Each structure stands twice: as C-alpha cells, then as structure tokens.
Structure 1
Amino acid sequence: MSDTRAELVGRSNRLGSDPKNTNYAGGNTSAKGVDTDPVTGEPVELIWVKGSGGDLGTLTEAGLAVLRLDRFRALQNVYPGIDREDEMVAAFDYCLHGKGGAAPSIDTSMHALVDADHVDHLHPDSGIAIATAADGEALTATIFGDKVVWVPWRRPGFQLGLDIAAIKRDNPDAVGCILGGHGITAWGDTSEECEKNSLWIIDTAAAYIAEHGVAEPFGAVVPGYEALPEAERHAKAAALAPTIRGIASRDKVMVGDYNDSPEVLEFLSREKLLPLAELGTSCPDHFLRTKVKPMVLDLPASAGIEESIARLKELHELYRADYQAYYDAHADASSPAIRGADPLIVLVPGVGMFSYGANKQTARVAGEFYRNAINVMRGAEALSTYTPISDEEKFRIEYWALEEAKLQRMPKPKTHQGRIAFVTGAASGIGKAIATRLAAEGACVVVADLDLEKAQAAAAEIGNADVAVGVAANVADAAAVQAALDAAVLAFGGVDLVVNNAGLSIAKTLLETTEADWDLLHDVMSKGSFLVSRAAASVLIEQGLGGDIVYISSKNSVFAGPKNIAYSATKADQAHQVRLLAAELGEFGVRVNGINPDGVVRGSGIFSSGWGADRAKTYGVKEEDLGQFYADRTLLKREVVPESVADAVFVLTGPELSRTTGVHIPVDSGVAAAFLR
C-alpha cells in the first residue's frame, strides 16, 4: 500500500472508530495523489475515496474506489444540470482507474471536485445539530467565523460537489463547511491537516453547544414518564417485545434490538418527546435506517402490559396510514414501490427503544442512528429550534432511484435470515452443532445451557453478539426457562425457532432405576421440553409470525432397547408432545416436529459423562468402538454425528418443508426396529 493510501486508511479508521465523529457506515474520506499508469508508464493523477456502503472505522484499501482525476473533472463539461444529475453516477464508472476498486459512492463529487488533496465528509452529532438548527447559517458564522462556511441543504450528488468546490475556491481561509440538514465537510493539504480540521469543527461545535446551550433542551420531565427501575424496565420490555416485533414485521419479518441507554430514557421522559419525534430525523444516513420518524407509545411508564399492548396495536394502524399518506403525497410515476409501512423505531416511555432491521446488526445500527438523532435534536434545541429537512426532501432520498438500485444489488438473503433460534443444551454436542448450522444459514441464535459460561463460550465460537448469545437455562425450572426466553427476546426481539435438545441419560435396568433417576430424566426432558415449549409458544403466538418448535427425541422413543427404561420413556413422552402441540399450535402457523437420532457418540456430552461406557458394556463392545457399533447395525452402515442432526433441523425448519408438521424424521442411518409405523 502506498503512503497516500496508508495515510487515508489510517485517518479513516481513526475518525470512524469514534462515534462522536460519524455514525456507522456514514461519511467518506479521500486522498489525491500520483501513480504510474501501467499502460503508458506515465504519471497519472488519481483519487482514492471510500467506496459505496463502506464503513470508515473498518475501512481497508479494498474498500477504496480509485478514479482518474482528469476524467472525473472533465465530467463538468458534460454535466446536464441538476434535474438530470443522477445520470452522473453511471458516468463515474468511466473514470475508474484499472479495475477501480470499490464502487464509487454518490458523494465522490464532493471529494474529486474540491481543490484539496485530502477531504473528509462526516456526520458528527454536534455538526448535524448546527446543520438542523433553524438559524444554522447564523450559528455557523458565530461559532466558526470565516473558517467554516454554511451550505444550504442540497441532496448529495454532482451539484453538491460543485457547490463545495466553489466554496473552497471563494473562501481561502475556510477549512470546511456545514452542510444544511446533513453534516460537515473539511479539507486539508495533508492527511494530518485534514483530520485536524475535521476534529476542530466537531469539537468546536460540541464545546459551543455545551457552553451556550440551555440546560433542559427537551423540556421538563413529564410525571409518570420517568425510567422504571432496571429490573422492572427489562421485565416490561420482554413482555412487550413480541407485540412490537409483530408490529415491525407485518410487511417483512424483522430482527430487533432493545436499548435503554440513559440518553434514550431521558428523551422518552421529557415534554418535547412527541413533537420532536413527529418531526423525524434529518441526516439522510439517519432516516434511511430509521424511517422518517418513529412510533411512540403515548402512555406513561406505569401503564399495564395489556393496556400498552392494546395501544401499541392502535398506534400501529395509525402509523401505517400516516406512512402511506406520506408516500402518496410525494410519489410519482417514476417512484419505486412503497417498501413497507411498519415502523423501524418504537419508543416506549420508561422502558426504552426497540429498533428493527433485516438482521441483528442492521437493527442495532438503526438504534444507534436514532440515538444519533436524539443527540442532534438535543444540540439543536439547546441553541435554537430543531428544523429537519422537509418530508418532500426526505422522500426524495428514501425513494431515490439510486438508493433503490443499491437495495436491488444486495445479495439474496440466506434461508434463515431474520429468524431467531432458541436452542437448549447447546453448549456442546448436538445442540452446538444445530446452533452453529442455523447461524451459518443466517439465523440469530440463542445458545441456552445449564452452564452459563459454557453457553457464552459456545456462542462466542459461533459468532459475535449480532449472531449468537449465550444464556443460562435450567429447563426443569419454570422461572429459569422464562428468564432465558426473556433474555432471548431482549437480545434479538423475539423467537421464531425453538429446539428442545437439552437432555441427559441414565442407563439402568428396571430394578436398578431409582425414583430419583426417573424424576431427573423426566424433569429435564419431559417437563423441560413442556416448559420451554409453553414459554416459547406465548411469544410465537403474540408475534403472529408463525414459527417452529423442534424436539430432538430419539429412535428410543419407538425402539425398545435393553436397560433403558427411564430414558426411553421420556423420549416417548417428547414424541407425543410433538403430535399434541402440532395439533394445538397449527392455527397460529407454528409447526411442531421431531427428530429421532440414533446414538450420537462423537462430541456428545451425554456419552462422555458415563452413558457411553454403560452402553458399551450393555452391548459388549469397547467404548471407543461404540460409534462404529451403532453404525454397523444400521442399514446404511454410517455413523450419526451431531452435524447429521443439525442438517435435519436446517431442512425441517427451512422453506422446503413449510407444509410439514406433527412428524418425526429418523436420523439413524436406518435402524429397522425403529421404523415409524
């Protein structure tokens, strides 16, 4: 990597890693320099600029678009005017150098046309606060003097690049500008100078707001809207989460994120909550992630669960009608079809913020963007009056043909994207294999296990917290099961797919089996599966999105093997629970199915804890040969491993078997004595 590109990547990472400077995937940076044209051998002026969709904090050289400056500057000669400026984006491709690197973003003009070797465009909360203040232009002059120039709102594009280039040319003392309703841009002759200028604008704006802003920009606390105590707050959030996820998912199934940070709870408790929320967000990056405005529950924190649920459902219908009216008011024949009228941000006073997206990361980032919006509103109200861009301009961004094209280029989602799986006994063996496979197919996974540390370790192996989380779950205890399900809905917004896998085994003859043995096995597997299914069903029904419950039973549920009375009886109990629940939950779109594996020796917690030695002794083989023994007695002569069961769960819960419920699928390589009949 050349020094110029290395400096650019380093600067980008430093700026992007600090949320005070810009939001996730927001803003862009650039550097100009000279390289050798491999065709002519002559020097050529280039610009390296963060490509479309990249994130500054994690940017690498591969995320840079590379363009020839002479060709890009020549685009000014063919620019057809602001009414047709969208056509210029396609022309960017004709300016690429070599393979061009990443796709150029709409903001490339802002970098290439400005006469400075280094340019930053960022979305800092402090800068956007000035940009969205009613008297933002006057504030810009007061705060920065002639070093920062005000630019009235203009949609990102070629013309905005021309505007900023003119400002740089006509204001020799300026180091940057405030983009009305949007963010900031800064420049410098060196990478160090550019970064310094960006940070100076951000920090100067923040300091001015802190020194001159009013003490209570959101107004007084509204009695009854204060934050509930943490335990009560989280309990209410868990109780409301299935309803709210169902609201956010009417048009398209969404994953959720819950946030009860101090700045969110403060905003929800103040008298300006409803009027400010109604104004919506302003920065394009904000409302593209959050929709133009949130849905707000207009009840105090003390409102009961049933009252809150009823009001949320009423507000949802009003929100959908309002969003449809917004679309109808601004759409024309060329507009993309409406993308859905459900809220992506739902605010509940005293409880917190629920945000939604196609996956957990998108949901979490949407919440982070609304927190940015809260900070922006706080800063603007502290100095002036928050005045975002108009709904007409928001619509022009939200339903921009270029934005639609970007959405259409996104990869096809995996089969389980948007689904939230709760797998018991998932820290090892079959459960871990199931959780791993479902995560690989796009699901968010809750690894539930009796041992919290092992559950968290297994989750960390599967992925980060946007993919998998570990929770403690003693499935034999109703309160512990409910706590684990509550943790799941707070982590991901709800539950769609439940796998009853937790189990253990005791291999004894009838006369050797004690009452304690019998009770333990039935508590964990029979009662445990019942408790998990009951707690999960309440979530599945309230969400209204259907779902799956899968029981990892056993071929022993139908096969009468020796010295196995308690274990096999519990598996038979589980097998009939499948049929009973399939009959009861079908009207809610919930499918209930079972999987009957043969003995899974490799990686099994059950077999490694003594069960394997007992089974080997029963069958007269060495314990290390037990897996092969099981394989040899099957029709296919193949050992069943944890991944075999995971494959079956994947297929059973995927779109191909969407009309299948109440069945058991053998995964036993063919044990004739266990054939279902």
Structure 2
Amino acid sequence: MPSKQSEFKHVDYSWDDAVADTLTPIESLVYRSNILGADQRITNTGGGNTSAKLMEIDPLTGEEVEVLWVKGSGGDLRTAKVENFSSLYQGKLNALDATYQARDDKGYKQAGEDAMIGMYKHCNFCLNPRASSIDTPLHSMIADKHVDHLHPNAVIAIASCKDQEALTEKVWGGKMAYVPWMRPGWEAAKVCEEAYAAKPDSIGILLGQHGHTNWESESKSCYETSLWVIETAARYIEEHDKGEQTFGGAKVESLSEEARTELLTQFLPVARGVLSNKVKFIATVQSDETALRFVNSVDAPRLAKLGTSCPDHFLRTKIQPLYVDYNPKTDDFDALVEKLNTGIEQYRIEYAEYYNNCKRDDSPAMRDPSPTVILIPGVGIIGWGKNKSESRVTTEFYNCAIEVMRGAEAISEYTALPQQEAFDIEYWALEEAKLQRMPKEAPLARDIVVVVGAGDGIGKETAFRVAREGAHVVCADLRLDAAQKTADELTAIYGQGIGVAGTGISGCGPAIALEVNITERESVKNMFDQVTLAYGGIDKVIVTAGVFLAPGQSGMSNEQQFDVSFAVNVKGGYIVGTQANEIWQAQGLKGALVLTTSVNAAVAKKGSLAYDTSKAAANHLVRELAVELSPLVNVNGLAPATVVKGSTMFPRDRVIASLTKYDVEFGTDDSDDELRDKLAMFYAQRTLTKSPITPADQAEAAYLMVSGQLSKTTGQIISVDGGLHEAFLR
C-alpha cells in the first residue's frame, strides 16, 4: 500500500511525521481530518466524517473509558477544530442497539431511525454540545480505533456504476466489502457492521451511490488507507479514460473567453431575475475546461436528466440541473433567453410532479422548485444559492457530480439514485429540522450592494454598515488600493473570498474591490460587468464619491473647478445610475440608488461656489432619476453637513485654513485627528443637536434608504446634518 508522496498521483499525501508526532490523540484526529479535507478530490465541502476511539478519564468516576470522537453535524473536515467533534461514550452507544432493536407487541420497532438521532445526546461525554452526525453509529460499530468515511469523486464514480458490486471486487482486489445504497442511519450502520464482520480481512466498505468507509488501528495508517482506496479507484478510471470521446465527445464549440464574458454580463441578470421569483439568488460561474467539456458534450443532456447520485451533491444541486439546449453558432441572445424561460418553467412543473409523486404523509412542504444549477453549452455552469458561499459550494458539488459521471461512464454506465430515494433524502425530516434551526437571514443577506467611494470616509463606513446586515459588498473607488483595504478588512471579519473561474477577480466572498472612475461611462460599465460576473447582478447602489475644490487651493481656475465639480458630483451620479439601471431592468427586481449630495446644496455661502452649485444640481438629479428609473428603482439622496472625520475632503491644510477662517484656536504641532476634532466641534455648535457629525451617522441613513424600510420613499433628499436650520426646507 503506498505510503509516500511519490506513490500517489491522484491525491496529495500530506502527512508530516514531524507535525503529527507532537500532537495529542485528539489533535491527531483533527490533523488527519484537516489534511484529508484540504484535498477536494478526497471529499467535498462539509462532507465526510472522521473518528477515533480514544481512552479518556470519566469526570464522574475518574476511571478510563472509551470515547468515540467523530466529526459533528455541520462541520467541514478542512477547517474542523476539536470543538467541531462530538464525543460520546462508546459503551453507551453500543447499549443503544438494544433500544433500536426493541419491538412492541405487534412486532414493530419502537425506535425509528429518526428517533435514534435524539438518543445520541444521552451518550455525550463531558456534556459536549456538538450535535452528532447521522453517521455516528457507522463509526461506532466499526471495531477499529480509527475510521474515515469519505466522498471522493473517483470512489463515488464506481459506487454509481450499474455493476458497482462486481467492480468493488475487481478494482480493489477483494480488499473492500460492498453495501448497496441505504439511507445513512442506524440500520445502514448495522449492515456495515455485518459486512465488516463477514469480511474480516477487508480494509473498507464501498457504500453504493454514496462513498466509502475504511479503518485502521492507527491514525496515520488510516489516513494512508483512505488515500490508497481513492488512488486505486482513480487509477482504474484513468486506465479506461475515453479522452476526446468522454461524454460522447463534443457537440458544441465553446465561446471565446471574450465572447463568453460579454454574453454572461448580459445573461446573468436576466437569469437571476427569472430564478428569483420567490427569493433572490447569488450566482457563481464555472467556465473552466472541466465544465465546458461536460456542457458541450453529446451526452450532457442525457446525464444531466439522470441527476446526481451522491446525497451530499443533490442536497445542494437538487435532483437534477437545468440543461439549456443552446448552441452559440446558431442561437442568438434572444433565443438563449427564450430557452431559459421555457426551461425554467418546465423545470418547475417537473419538480412539482416529482414532489407530488414522492411525498409522504409527513413530508415537509415543497421548497422553491427553481433549479440551483444551470448548464449552458459553450458557456459553462452557473450555480445559484442564497449567498456567495452557497452558490460556490453548489457549483463545486456539481463539478464533483461531473467527475463522478465521467468516471462511471469510462468504466461502465452511470446510474443515479431512484427518485423516491432521492426525495426521501432531500425531504428527510432531519434535514428539514436542520433548515428550520438555521438562524433568520440578515436583512441584506441576498443583496449585492455596490458602494462607490468605499475607500474611506462615508463610503467606507457605509460598506461596513451594509456588510453588518449580510450584504455582499462591492467596494468601488477611484483608488483601487483604498478600495482593496476596505474589502480586505471586511473579508477579515466575514470570511475569506474565493476566486471564481473566468471572472478575473481575486476574491468573490463577502466583499470585493474594484476600481472605477465615475466620470467615464466605460469605466463604470466595466465595474458593473465585473460585479455581474462575480455575483450575478446588483441590488443596491450607494454613491458616496464626491469632490470639493476650494478656491485658491486646487490650482484650478473657477471654470476648471466647475468642470471637475459637475463631472464628479453630478455627471458621475448620472452615469452610475443609468448604467446600473440596465442591470436592474434586465433583472426585473426592485432596486435602490442613493446619491450623496450635501446640505450645501440648500445653503448659499462663500468659498465653495462650484461645490455648492454642483450639489444643488445633484439634488435635482435625484428627483429626475427617481422619475426616470421608476417604478422599479427607488432613488434618494443623502445630504450630509460637514463631515470632517475620515474624509479625504479635509486634508490637514484645508482643516487649518478653516480653523483660521473661523478663529478657532489650534497648535501647529496638533495631530491631524486633533485638528479635525476641533473643526468638527466648531461645526457642531452651529447645529441644533450640538454634536459632531460622523461617517457612521451618514452610513446609518444610507443603510436605511436601501434596507427596504423606506420602500415607499423615492425622489427625496434626507439631510443628516445635526439640525442645521439654514438648510431647512423652504
């Protein structure tokens, strides 16, 4: 059995004795789990379980007891820590079998499969709160100390073949036992226990349509056995690979990257709008060689209709994807959209039939019947989810399904789970309970919010504010480095983004950074194209970018100051709003646009002629765009008073000039923050509330205007000025 990196070509051998030898037994289990999970050829995100039976000191008796440590429900092997493992008394788990086998006076088992799940908590060691996985009994009933249960593509490919039992014997040379498909649970574990006992020289079990389980007495040898099982399956498939004739060969040619990008920027908002008839979805696009080879192939329509085989896959991808019968050579964009609409309508009808044909008396209500995976020849795979993370994982899972189908078709014939079996997993009461336990979605959880001017000041604060409410935030700014800093800070808080094939964007998680010059339509269009490729569309746009040019300080003539002020403060808002509207109209989903103006728009004063008049024009631009973009988009304005803190409009020299102008005392050695605080307090005394106005105050108002709480408000200017009575409506 291979035990060195050089002996593996289809998996990564990552075990390092120098690291492992320093670890405690439970730390070794975590280490094994992490390096297994780090290789997606071994198991998919959130899938699989690892376990170890360890001797621990019972806190009640002080005696040594055997404890099963097993990855708990909802965890991920790659990122798992000790707290992600449940711990149970092995003796109590063994005793539970009597509960499962007990029958009533009519001979029926008193405890059903689902009831057994609730019994696990009675076996918890040290009051461990981590919920136990449904695979807990499988790990418990295998007598060996270390057990891995994994979902590798190569193994599932064999487990999905029509002759899977015969292949189990052939591929692994009799070293693997075989158990046909069974829904995970106590009964499936009992069958595996019997297979384990009947074939004592075996090192693992192939689980039909599902994956495999293997075991060893030591953690390292268990890891190496897992890799051997996968490597052996992958090599067997490789030997039978069909090359150019994979999936029957190519039927459709791929679009060029440029043509594909152009099509996707048009298509994604349309698709998002059609799919989001109940709730909004976020997209992930995969257009790499693997995806294109499948969607372009002769067999793609047939295999797509069969659906996925592994339960882990179709819980994300649904029973099957939507295959759009599109040919870039013969179909134009309108034909693609028509085929999408027809396909989604038919998909929803068929999904309802699937639900009605398979539902049981106690089945949960039918969920959204829309597809979560769309396959487009020449273009690729588009996965959809409630957020970027879910859409990425959905796309990843369908990619796994493709590899399963590729392997199965290379060596035999691919088969999927029967519909009733698939339904019973998809609508399993335990799965429904898990969904019901999930926390309520944040207000902006399904929204893509573009903040223009997010590099600092009000824009940066606004980006943080909407992110706090669950938004996917696009941090756009003229200075890409400043935008990237904001996005990086958000990513550090809310999670690491993961790049999406074909977008050219390095991070597509909760926040991305993009460069934009709002005075140039091509720059704005490019920015929105990148947003569309990353997420599928847009929902809210907040423009905080602006420019203030003080007479005598900018080095410009009065006329030049007017040109620049109106270009940024007025034309920029117009370009952003009208360009965004193309996406809003394509989606057909309600949107919101916020333009940042100023209370200076309503107050005439000396020293800011170009700025004040441009902001007055911006106020009316808000009203005009509200009319132009109605009824789909609400347009409102945010009018701050002087916000000194964190604003690039207040460099040190301007602050000093203002303090001097107003005879406010300051020291030449005062820090920038001290100078700004003094100016802010001076301005505060001119307001009714006597409090400095901060970027956070403006961000709160900006959030309010896109939150949906003001859904009947449009064409309005909301002042956040501390009560500047000179700016009251006249």
Q: How does 1:501-580 map to 2 (within 5 A)?
A: 501-508=544-551, 513-580=557-624
Q: Structure 1 counterpart of 2:510, which letter?
A: V
Map of 2:249 onto structure 1: 220
Asked whether the 8 Å contact 2:100–2:111 carries over to 1, the reply is no
1:365-392 Cα deviation digits (max 9, x unpaired) = 1111111111111111111111011111
2: CA distance, partners of 1:214 / 1:633: 78
Q: Structure 2 counterpart of 1:289, which letter?
A: R
1:200 aligns to 2:228 (yes or no): yes
Q: Structure 1 counterpart of 2:516, which letter?
A: A
Map of 2:300 onto structure 1: 273
Q: Structure 2 counterpart of 1:488, which letter?
A: V
Map of 2:689 onto structure 1: 636
Q: Structure 1 counterpart of 2:597, which letter?
A: S
* Residue number among 626, 632, 649 corresponding to 2:679 in the alignment: 626
Asked whether the 8 Å contact 1:247–1:342 carries over to 2, the reply is no
Asked whether the 8 Å contact 1:214–1:383 carries over to 2, the reply is no
- Tell me: CA distance 1:511–1:398, structure 2 relative to 1, closer, same or farther (3 Å): closer
Stretch moving more, 102-111 or 78-87:
78-87
Q: How does 1:45-444 map to 2 (within 5 A)?
A: 45-80=66-101, 81=109, 84-215=112-243, 216-222=245-251, 225-302=252-329, 303-444=331-472
**What SS does structure 1 have at the residue aligned with 2:649?**
helix
Stretch moving more, 600-609 or 132-141:
600-609
**What SS does structure 1 have at the residue aligned with 2:247?**
coil
1: CA distance, partners of 2:28 / 2:239: 34
2: CA distance, partners of 1:610 / 1:272: 69
1: CA distance, partners of 2:380 / 2:566: 40
Q: Structure 1 counterpart of 2:604, which letter?
A: A
Map of 1:676 onto structure 2: 729
Asked whether the 8 Å contact 2:168–2:174 carries over to 1, the reply is no
- Tell me: CA distance 1:114–1:130, structure 2 relative to 1, closer, same or farther (3 Å): same
Task: After TM superposition, give the deviation of residue 540 of structure 1 in Å.
Answer: 1.5
Q: Structure 1 counterpart of 2:405, which letter?
A: M
1: CA distance, partners of 2:616 / 2:418: 63
**What SS does structure 2 have at the residue aligned with 1:656?**
coil
Asked whether the 8 Å contact 1:64–1:101 carries over to 2, the reply is no
Stretch moving more, 646-655 or 509-518:
509-518
2: CA distance, partners of 1:36 / 1:354: 51
Task: After TM superposition, give the deviation of residue 453 of structure 1 in Å.
Answer: 2.7
Task: After TM superposition, give the deviation of residue 581 of structure 1 in Å.
Answer: 2.3
Q: Structure 1 counterpart of 2:410, which letter?
A: A
2: CA distance, partners of 1:565 / 1:101: 64
- Tell me: CA distance 1:569–1:348, structure 2 relative to 1, closer, same or farther (3 Å): farther
Q: Structure 2 counterpart of 1:504, which letter?
A: V
Asked whether the 8 Å contact 2:456–2:648 carries over to 1, the reply is yes
The root-mean-square deviation of aligned C-alpha atoms, in Å, is: 1.9
TM-score normalised per structure 2: 0.90
- Tell me: CA distance 1:652–1:566, structure 2 relative to 1, closer, same or farther (3 Å): same
1:649 aligns to 2:702 (yes or no): yes
Asked whether the 8 Å contact 1:430–1:604 carries over to 2, the reply is yes
Map of 1:661 onto structure 2: 714
1:236-288 Cα deviation digits (max 9, x unpaired) = 11111101112232122122212212101111111111111111111111111
Q: Structure 2 counterpart of 1:576, which letter?
A: H
Q: Structure 2 counterpart of 1:17, which letter?
A: A
Q: How does 1:21-60 map to 2 (within 5 A)?
A: 21-60=42-81
Task: After TM superposition, give the deviation of residue 98 of structure 1 in Å.
Answer: 2.2
2: CA distance, partners of 1:248 / 1:55: 29
**What SS does structure 2 have at the residue aligned with 1:178?**
strand
Q: Structure 2 counterpart of 1:132, which letter?
A: S
Asked whether the 8 Å contact 1:146–1:173 carries over to 2, the reply is no
* Residue number among 452, 473, 476 corresponding to 2:516 in the alignment: 473
1:628-663 Cα deviation digits (max 9, x unpaired) = 221121111111111111111222222432332222
**What SS does structure 2 have at the residue aligned with 1:103?**
coil
2: CA distance, partners of 1:321 / 1:613: 69
Task: After TM superposition, give the deviation of residue 193 of structure 1 in Å.
Answer: 1.5
Map of 2:34 onto structure 1: 13
Task: After TM superposition, give the deviation of residue 537 of structure 1 in Å.
Answer: 1.2
2: CA distance, partners of 1:557 / 1:295: 52
Asked whether the 8 Å contact 2:601–2:613 carries over to 1, the reply is yes
Task: After TM superposition, give the deviation of residue 577 of structure 1 in Å.
Answer: 2.0
**What SS does structure 1 have at the residue aligned with 2:258?**
helix
Task: After TM superposition, give the deviation of residue 94 of structure 1 in Å.
Answer: 1.2
Q: Structure 1 counterpart of 2:260, which letter?
A: R
Task: After TM superposition, give the deviation of residue 307 of structure 1 in Å.
Answer: 2.4
Identity over the aligned pairs, expressed in percent?
41
TM-score normalised per structure 1: 0.96
* Residue number among 508, 531, 535 corresponding to 1:488 in the alignment: 531
Task: After TM superposition, give the deviation of residue 615 of structure 1 in Å.
Answer: 4.3
2: CA distance, partners of 1:262 / 1:618: 65
- Tell me: CA distance 1:323–1:478, structure 2 relative to 1, closer, same or farther (3 Å): same
1: CA distance, partners of 2:642 / 2:339: 51
Q: Structure 1 counterpart of 2:583, which letter?
A: V
1: CA distance, partners of 2:342 / 2:631: 24
- Tell me: CA distance 1:349–1:573, structure 2 relative to 1, closer, same or farther (3 Å): farther
2: CA distance, partners of 1:512 / 1:194: 73
Task: After TM superposition, give the deviation of residue 503 of structure 1 in Å.
Answer: 1.2
**What SS does structure 2 have at the residue aligned with 1:33?**
strand
1:460-493 Cα deviation digits (max 9, x unpaired) = 1111321100011111111110000011111111
1:128-155 Cα deviation digits (max 9, x unpaired) = 1111111111111111022112210111
Task: After TM superposition, give the deviation of residue 587 of structure 1 in Å.
Answer: 2.1
1: CA distance, partners of 2:663 / 2:376: 63
2: CA distance, partners of 1:167 / 1:180: 13
1:608 aligns to 2:651 (yes or no): yes
Q: Structure 2 counterpart of 1:161, which letter?
A: A
Q: Structure 1 counterpart of 2:365, which letter?
A: A
**What SS does structure 1 have at the residue aligned with 2:126?**
strand
- Tell me: CA distance 1:643–1:511, structure 2 relative to 1, closer, same or farther (3 Å): closer
Q: Structure 1 counterpart of 2:551, which letter?
A: K
- Tell me: CA distance 1:181–1:255, structure 2 relative to 1, closer, same or farther (3 Å): same
Task: After TM superposition, give the deviation of residue 358 of structure 1 in Å.
Answer: 1.3
**What SS does structure 1 have at the residue aligned with 2:285?**
strand
- Tell me: CA distance 1:537–1:263, structure 2 relative to 1, closer, same or farther (3 Å): same
What stretches of structure 2 of length at least 5 have no aligned partner?
1-21, 102-108, 498-508, 667-674
**What SS does structure 2 have at the residue aligned with 1:489?**
helix
Asked whether the 8 Å contact 2:178–2:195 carries over to 1, the reply is no
Q: Structure 1 counterpart of 2:27, which letter?
A: A
Q: Structure 2 counterpart of 1:649, which letter?
A: A
2: CA distance, partners of 1:603 / 1:614: 17
Asked whether the 8 Å contact 2:148–2:214 carries over to 1, the reply is yes
1:452 aligns to 2:480 (yes or no): yes
2: CA distance, partners of 1:498 / 1:371: 33
Asked whether the 8 Å contact 1:474–1:480 carries over to 2, the reply is yes
Asked whether the 8 Å contact 1:506–1:611 carries over to 2, the reply is no
Asked whether the 8 Å contact 1:35–1:46 carries over to 2, the reply is yes
Q: Structure 1 counterpart of 2:78, which letter?
A: G
2: CA distance, partners of 1:657 / 1:105: 44
Q: Structure 2 counterpart of 1:59, which letter?
A: A
